[in-house]
Amino acid sequence: MICFQFPDPWHRQTHRRRRIIQPGLVAALAGTLRAGARVYLAADYRELALEMRAAFAARPDAFRPVLEHELTEGGNPDKDNGGISTTITPTTAGWKVPGFLKMVLVILLTLAVIYEKHAIFTTVLGAGVAFILTKKVMSLAVSPKGQQGGIMDRMHNEGWLTTNPIGVPSERDVVCETVGRVPYRCMFEKI
């Protein structure tokens, strides 16, 4: 699996030429990857995510989109993992991060990103926050059974993956979920 997680910090149109996901890269991956290889894309800006998804969707001869139910039901996203499932499934339990704790976590995560050279601090903080927040914060975005209109329901209906198929969130995943920004995720499989 090849992952492009939040690859482009330049969300303005003037910086389009700097973006990583370009038709040339998609063509190179189409010619290089073996059949069944997966490409995972994630971005926190909708326009960038749509652009990345469109670049791979423009090559239906080489890539097909992987749908959410393929990751959880019939397909095994962890076949290279010895069949051990690492997919995180959001719950519908009600749990809220207290405002003060949320503010402290955002400050700590910001410091972790700024002082990225201190790998131990970043790793320990990222693992701790990911453990606490991944399922819990995602549960806030899912509608309780019988209700429509949750953010994650809408994302699912638009074809985005609602969970991280890798099972281990990146630092940017954690920051996005901490501050309430929903990451746009999709996956393609080489035909």
> pLDDT digits over 76-90, tens only?
444 444 433 333 333
Q: What is the pLDDT of the chain when averaged over all its residues?
A: 74
Cα–Cα distance, 140 to 145 (Å, whole number): 13
Q: Return the bridge partners of 66, or none.
A: 187
Percent of the chain with pLDDT over 70: 58
Q: Which amino acid is at 8?
A: D
Residue 100 has pLDDT above 80, yes or no: no
At the top level of CATH, the class of 2-72+160-190 is alpha beta
Percent of the chain with pLDDT over 90: 31
Asked if residue 83 lies in contact with residue 76, where contact means CB atoms within 8 angstroms, the answer is yes
Residue with the bigger pLDDT between 7 and 124: it is: 7
What confidence tens digit (pLDDT) does each residue in 102-138 have? 666 666 666 665 555 455 444 555 555 554 444 444 4
Ramachandran sector of residue 184 (left: φ over 0; alpha: ψ -120 to 50; beta: rest): beta
SS3 state of residue 181: coil
Domain boundaries, the chain: 2-72+160-190
